[in-house]
Structure 1
Amino acid sequence: MAKFAANLSMLFTEVDFIDRFEAAGEAGFQGVEYLFPYAFDANEIKAKLQANDLEQVLFNLPAGDWEAGDRGIAVDPSRVAEFQSGVLIAIEYAKVLGCNQLNCLAGIVPTGVTATEAYSTFVLNLKYAANALAAEGISLVIEAINTRDIPGFFLNTTEQAKRVIQDVGSDNLSIQYDIYHMQIMEGDLALTMQSNIAQIAHVQLADNPGRHEPGTGEINYPFVLKYLDDIGYQGWVGCEYKPQTTTLDGLGWLKQYR
């Protein structure tokens, strides 16, 4: 049965970030993920993980200035040096936190950059990141995101992600499959997951519409999660959704999977 990780960037937001680890542990989660740890001391986060018996499952490589609208810098030819520096920072955090998997957000294609330039920059940066992470025993994933939530985001479908992985040519690069985003962009969830299970290293969930907890929208999560088990998925499932009310009130869906 799948292991569920709380996404602390979206769950338990009623408390300060550093207190969300305790809230996740008390709610019964085994692992956590979030956007970024870089505003905090890595050893402080490590202490919170250990105190609450949590595994650090995933976080993102540095993705530029999030507050200013950056959603990744991996497709920006003018920021390759910044990207590479960010990879080294992420590795240091991952080593302290015991995190063996990092996600690279492609980002929004900058004005004036062609699709070809963005693609070649993305491949270049991923080759660097995949090799650097492999040397430390850390895996790299990339995530396709829907164009409604982030207009202009470069990576949007599973097929596109597969082409990128093929061109990078590293066995240390896989897919982070976000069920919510892919329901919007391509649907056909079960067949897509089955066809690509060998390349899916991490899964995230939210229902659609609204990006709320499972059971609030159109996705048949009892079927989808059982199907993931049936096709042999053994990784983590990150709960990356916006609770309709409070986080605890929205966790009823999870009881049947414990």
Structure 2
Amino acid sequence: MRKAKLAANLKWLFKELDFESRFQAAAHAGFQGVEYPNPYAFEPTKLRGWLDRAGLKQVLINTPGGPTGSPSEFGSAGVPGCEQEFRNGFLSALEYADWLDAGVIHVMAGNVPPEVTRRQAAATLVANMSWALEQAQNTNTVLVMEAINRFTMPRHSLDEIEHAAEIAAVLDSPKLGVLFDVFHVQRSGGNVLERLQNLAPQIAHVQVADSPHRHEPGTGEIAYSAVFDQLDNIGYDGWIGCEYEPTTSTLESLWWRGPLGYEPAQGRAS
């Protein structure tokens, strides 16, 4: 048996259904946990009800994004000048995490504005993360930072997972780790197995999709059997978010779970 558990990312999976129906669909497909980036479009009580009726664990949420087209569209933690926006959004994320019993908040860094240097963005990110850790001190939630590859997002404040790990090391808190997104790591230099080994102590969450087209594992260039073996080798026993674009329907795209050692659980009654 694999040590880690699979969570369905409801932004990417079961898009054939309306959002509410995706919870029951994930449970019937054998998932025990779900993640999604944007709970803020719904009242937390409504989300809590959908989780409870499906018997699911809320694994991860993201901090809010800003207006479409703005530097903070994909987060504000690393965007100079958006400090108050970040603080307001992070406090909202903490409230939702409490309601949903979410174990992880992905603190989105955002994009570096054209007039700002990456050094300035990094300093802002450190300062904001330090403040966020103080706010999360007495909660049950861990914060994570994710690096986004430059092919997908050229101006993202974090574009190498080692940079995220360096910030986590500087802040040195058990409440802070890195989100190891296998797709982004592969697109940012590869060497996935070695980097899993090197960063093992700081990995607090994992997400999977194949490269280069972000479909389900087994459809691209990543040797996912070796990746899952390495996750077992380093002792990772947390959640793995399935954050990929299915090549067909979601249910048909789940074929990879068996060959990679994740036999789906029995479906549950509605």
Question: What's the TM-score bracket when you normalise by the shorter of the two chains?
Answer: over 0.9
Deviation at 1:111? 2.0
Task: Measure the CA separation in 1 of the matches of 2:69 and 2:119.
Answer: 27
In the alignment, which of 43, 46, 49 is matched to residue 45 of structure 2? Answer: 43
Deviation at 1:168? 2.8
Uncovered stretches (5+) of structure 1, i.e. residues with no partner: none
Task: Measure the CA separation in 2 of the matches of 1:230 and 1:46.
Answer: 35
What's 1:110 paired with? 113
TM-score normalised by structure 2 residue count: 0.92
Deviation at 1:68? 5.8
Deviation at 1:64? 1.4
Deviation at 1:103? 0.5
In the alignment, which of 16, 21, 27 is matched to residue 29 of structure 2? Answer: 27
CA contact (8 A) 2:196 2:230 kept: no
Deviation at 1:87? 1.1
Deviation at 1:36? 1.0
Distance 1:122 1:233, change over 3 A: same
Q: Which amino acid in 2 is paired with 1:223? A: A
CA contact (8 A) 1:4 1:239 kept: yes
Deviation at 1:169? 3.5
Q: Which amino acid in 1 is paired with 2:50? A: K
In the alignment, which of 159, 163, 169 is matched to residue 162 of structure 2? Answer: 159
Residue 257 of structure 1 pairs with residue 259 of structure 2: no
| TM-align CA RMSD | 1.3
CA contact (8 A) 2:148 2:160 kept: yes
Aligned-pair identity in percent equals: 44
Uncovered stretches (5+) of structure 2, i.e. residues with no partner: 264-270
Task: Measure the CA separation in 1 of the matches of 2:210 and 2:170.
Answer: 32
Deviation at 1:116? 2.1
Task: Measure the CA separation in 2 of the matches of 1:114 and 1:68.
Answer: 17
What's 2:243 paired with? 240
Task: Measure the CA separation in 2 of the matches of 1:151 and 1:34.
Answer: 23
Deviates more, 1:15-24 or 1:68-77: 68-77
Task: Measure the CA separation in 2 of the matches of 1:61 and 1:76.
Answer: 14
